Chains A and B, each alone.
Chain A
Amino acid sequence: MIHFVLLISRQGKVRLTKWYSPYSQKERTKVIRELGGVILNRGPKLCNFVDWRGFKVVYKRYASLYFCMCIDQDDNELEVLEIIHHFVEILDRYFGSVCELDLIFNFHKAYYILDELLLAGELQESSKKTVARLIAAQDSLVETAKEQASSISNIIAQATK
């Protein structure tokens, strides 16, 4: 299973973290610092896997961002690379050629997408279209609710005038 997902920028800033196994706040900071040090220092031609504390960390760099996933020793590293790519493609479709800034200002959106892709540390959906559809449906639910709220507050505002 995937124990956690990290998105780290080239400068070592954390952009997104998702923990599927329990790590205390202290451990999380330590893990991020440790892995950041290891992964950011690896040369570009090296393999995408790092042995780490009895786990394997699979990472891949997209532009200025490193996508890392920590998996068990007997999991399929090559598949996890595919999963990372799958995630990036979905983000790309959603934001329209995604960049780091999109993920900073819309970090919650990135989380919603990740939650449609992974659950309990396992892959949930292999179709990019389905994920996009589910996210769109939920986004529109939020929009409708907002419109309703503003129209209600308009009505109240008018009534109290």
Chain B
Amino acid sequence: MNPFSSGTRLRDMIRAIRACKTAAEERAVVRKECAAIRASINEDDQDYRHRNLAKLMFIQILGYPTHFGQMECLKLIASAGFPEKRIGYLGLMLLLDERQEVLMLVTNSLKQDLNHSNQYIVGLALCALGNICSAEMARDLSPEVERLLQFRDPNIRKKAALCSIRIIKKVPDLAENFINCAASLLKEKHHGVLITGVQLCADLCKVSSEALEYFRKKCTEGLVRTLRDIVNSPYSPEYDTSGITDPYLHIRLLKLLRILGQGDADASDRMTDILAQVATKTESNKNAGNAILYECVETIMSIEDDGGLRVLAINILGKFLSNRDNNIRYVALNMLMRATTLDAQAVQRHRATILDCVKDSDASIRKRALELLYLLVNENNVKPLIKELIEYLEVSDQEFKGDLTAKICSLVEKFSSEKIWYIDQMLKVLSEAGNFVKDEVWHALIFVISNASDLHGYTVRALYRAFLTSTEQETLVRVAVWCIGEYGDMLVNNVGMLDIEDPITVTECDAVDAVEVAIKRHTSDLTTKAMALIALLKLSSRFPSSSERIKGIIVQNKGNLVLELQQRSIEFNRILQKHQKIRSALVERMPVLDEATFSGRRAGSLPTAISTSSGAPSNLPNGIAKPATAPIPDLLDLSSDDVPAPSSSGGDFPQDLLGVDLSPTLAPSGAGKPPKASTDVLLDLLSIGTYLPVQTGSSAADILSSSQDDKALASLSSLSANATSPVNAAPMMDLLDGHGPGPQKPKENGQAYQSLVAYESSSLRVMFNFSKQPGSPQTTLIQATFTNLSSNVYNDFLFQAAVPKFLQLHLDPASSNTLPASGDGSITQNLKVTNSQHGKKLLVMRVRIAYKTNNKDVLEERQINNFPQNL
């Protein structure tokens, strides 16, 4: 015997490993064993291969690398005896997975073993194939498995059935080969075969609609009969589980019936009787019975039913919900979540119980209950529910606070009807769990506050009070600091007192104190400190008497190690020292943000909020916001910013709004001036506009064809390239000051709009006629008329248009794609443009016209920015 191969038996190795007191000792033992096994492998030791692999498996379970043993598995599988094969296949399943290339080498052995005369060896091969086969192996060995579905021994048939599931999951194309065999398995009496056969059918239905149709037609009756037999079967000790015969078979049959009944009234109808029987007769005092009831409820709720059964199902769930077993309550919550879409009213009845579950000591149940409750909140019950949730927020676990806060904020936003309620609730959340509040949420809060002009005084006082009691919540500090900076005078002078408020006396000094606390807090992060600095600058103008003190605080930060704060302090200090004249203009209140833009941006930055509120009406904060009109929300689009803060970096909304990027040299133009229309037309064009190519007379499908897309993209990039140069050349200040280009004759008449010759060349004229639908001033309907001025006919006429992001363009198909010569007839095409910033920005459009004349392709392009100003 090889001197290196340790003679230890498997049992001794396990003992040795278990005797280790430290992880280091264990590693040493494993290392020694592995070395011995490697040596033995290199010697090609036949006698101990079997034992070596067993040891390796144990080592693998402990989490050590064992890849060097993979080939040993293959050798054992290839040997003739059953014991070797048995351990070889076990090793194969443990040491390898479908992604290892070594696995391909075993395909041939598997094929031989699938055809072996010993049924147990066939069973081993099927087991390995079912557990780890790759798509290639599935393809290669699928015929063998199909054949084995009809093997004489039922234990092989059941293994082959499950193996087929793996095969069709890996290669769905093979599904149709299995449909017939699977259907014949459903007629078996052997429970193992029946269970696996039903499972195979269910999985076939998932990958192939053909299979679904087939089973629905041919097998529904039979399955119902099988279920009835098993439900009514007398006690059989072999399959009995706490008084029920084979709950596994029950569950699988119910699951397959669900798939067959879904979306098919006829099939559903055939199974209602048996479902009613299962729902009423099954014992619910043991887990097995509840498992069946649970499955039955799910089937009832998925199939097409008139409602009688559903009442039964919801009642079962109600019973589940009041069960003392946590498992049962968990599944009940799970199920009720699905039931809300079917019968919200019935679920609402259990609201109180569900609210209790939110406060359960079990994290799994809490999570489910919170999700369910979230779906149940509506306009009528939102106030009491939010009150309960916020109260619970005070005592809940730290880990749960994140989830809970997010849900509360989302609900408050979705259902708030009054701003004051919204602000109150948000303040409570901020004071309780401000550290868990996401950035978008407090940005939204600031937005609402700035829009609620009558509540500024109230809000700033409430925030000041909250700030005094809890300075540990970062977001609360930020919002408070921002509000004190903006509305500090209202805080001190008690402007806009509401009846519900307690009077409070705050001196200028107190307000500055608060901000000073914020800036000196050790836990404050960069954003908070930067916001506090700006608040100080603003207060210096609002409170002239504290100006010197503020200057002192700002000066202290001149040496700050964080560059951003240092720079700000230095800049602000300059403003205080040298630019007294412009200071008051510089620190005026932030202009109110446009709601449409804000909601558009939020739609882009808050995908979670949108997706979780699916199904609910999309009313945004406070019911005051209109639905987002900007279809392409863009966070980085500098130009469509309503607050014309000339931010130099990124133009992220909250930064702009909060003045975080306030740059002193450019600030005057940003502070309070009304936004100028069309100042940033050029910049807008830089952003990726919607470019809608419409092939005249073609269907929507054609529009989406790839060649069109390519063309559109190409033209788009050329567009941006053209637009770039003038922008780069123009100095920033000019851009902000100058009015939009284009000599324009404004027409004051509100209804009639002057027609526009949008484009005219020697060969072509394009006329735009404008109209508006009453009630939607944002939307302009444009009828474009194309006239041929040359003497040649134009074929394949195609008009394309692109607009910047603040516009939304809809192109109808053109009346024709052939334009007769010499003005003898014309093409008309309707366009619909929606301006999300109506009243602030003018329409602008880039058009491209392509056509063929004399078999030559002609392309004409132009930017139209002389639209009438009253549009």
A residues sitting closer than 8 Å to B (CB atoms) are 14-20, 22-25, 28-29, 32, 43, 45-51, 76-79, 81-83, 86, 104-105, 107-108, 111-112, 115, 119-120, 122-130, 134, 137-138, 141-142, 145-146
Contacts and interface: CB of A to CB of B under 8 A. Distances in A.
Nearest to A74: B298
B842 to A, nearest CB: 48
Given A79-B248, A137-B120, A19 B192 contact: no
13 contacts: A19-B97, A46-B326, A47-B326, A47-B327, A50-B364, A78-B294, A107-B57, A107-B58, A119-B126, A119-B130, A123-B196, A141-B82, A142-B86
5 residue pairs, one from A and one from B, having the closest CB atoms: A78-B291, A47-B326, A120-B130, A119-B162, A46-B362
Interface in B343-368: 361-365, 367-368
Contacts of B127: 115, 119
Contacts of B247: 79, 82
Given A49-B330, A126-B192, A142-B83, A23 B97 contact: yes
B196 A108 contact: no
Interface stretch (B61-69, B421-429, B586-594, B655-663): B61-69
Contacts of B294: 76, 78
B295 A76 contact: yes
A124 B191 CA distance: 9
A82 B288 contact: yes
A104 B18 contact: yes
Contacts of A120: 130-131, 162-163, 165-166
Contact of A108 (B90, B123, B249, B368): B90
Interface in B214-258: 238-239, 241, 246-249, 251, 255
A142 B84 CA distance: 9
Contacts of A47: 326-327, 329-330, 362, 364-365
B159 interface: yes
B155 interface: yes
B57 A126 contact: no
Given A115-B90, A142-B86, 10 more contacts: A14-B62, A25-B65, A46-B364, A50-B364, A76-B251, A119-B126, A125-B192, A125-B195, A138-B86, A138-B120
A86 B192 CA distance: 14
Interface string B362-400: 111101100000000000000000000000000000000
B199 interface: yes
A82 B330 contact: no
B86 A126 contact: no
A77 B291 CA distance: 8
A16 to B, nearest CB: 7
B567 interface: no
Nearest to A144: B82
B61 A107 contact: yes
Contacts of B65: 25
B441 interface: no
A126 B191 contact: yes
Max count, chain A CB within 10 A of own CB: residue among B57, B61, B81:
B61
Contacts of A130: 155, 192, 238
A122 B165 contact: yes
Given A22-B97, A47-B329, A76-B251, A124 B62 contact: no
A126 B248 contact: yes
B287 interface: yes
Contacts of A105: 11, 14
A29 B364 CA distance: 24
B287 to A, nearest CB: 6
A115 B87 CA distance: 12
A115 B255 CA distance: 24
Given A49-B364, A112-B86, A126 B195 contact: yes
Contacts of A146: 83
A104 to B, nearest CB: 6
A9 B368 CA distance: 28
A53 to B, nearest CB: 14
B158 interface: yes
B796 interface: no
A138 B98 contact: no
A29 B61 CA distance: 10
Interface in B65-99: 65, 81-83, 86-87, 90, 93-94, 97-99
A47 B54 CA distance: 36
B106 to A, nearest CB: 16
A145 B192 CA distance: 29
Nearest to A89: B241
B334 to A, nearest CB: 8
A46 B801 CA distance: 62
B196 A122 contact: yes
Contacts of A122: 162, 165, 196, 199
B286 to A, nearest CB: 10
B291 A76 contact: yes
Contact of A29 (B63, B99, B159, B239): B63
A16 B63 CA distance: 11
B339 to A, nearest CB: 14
A39 to B, nearest CB: 11
A47 B165 CA distance: 31
A78 B807 CA distance: 53
A16 B61 contact: yes
A4 to B, nearest CB: 11
Contacts of A23: 97
B790 interface: no
Nearest to B334: A77
A18 B329 CA distance: 29
A130 B158 CA distance: 12
Interface string B277-311: 00000000001101100110000000000000000
Contacts of B361: 43, 45-46
Contacts of B166: 120
Contacts of B158: 124-125
A136 to B, nearest CB: 11
B821 interface: no
B58 A78 contact: no
A50 B365 CA distance: 9
Contacts of A32: 63
A28 B294 CA distance: 31
B206 to A, nearest CB: 11
B331 interface: yes
B63 A79 contact: no
A145 B99 CA distance: 34
A23 B87 CA distance: 22
Contacts of B368: 51
B295 A79 contact: yes
A51 B239 contact: no
Nearest to B166: A120
A122 B155 CA distance: 15
Nearest to B236: A127
Contacts of A123: 195-196, 199, 248
B191 A127 contact: yes
B131 A45 contact: no
Nearest to A80: B291
Contacts of A145: 81-83
Interface in B24-45: none
A16 B57 CA distance: 10
Interface in B393-449: none
A82 B248 contact: yes
A142 B82 contact: yes
Contacts of A138: 82, 86, 120
Contacts of B330: 47, 49, 77
A147 to B, nearest CB: 11
Max count, chain B CB within 10 A of own CB: residue among A15, A25, A82, A83:
A82
A119 B159 contact: yes
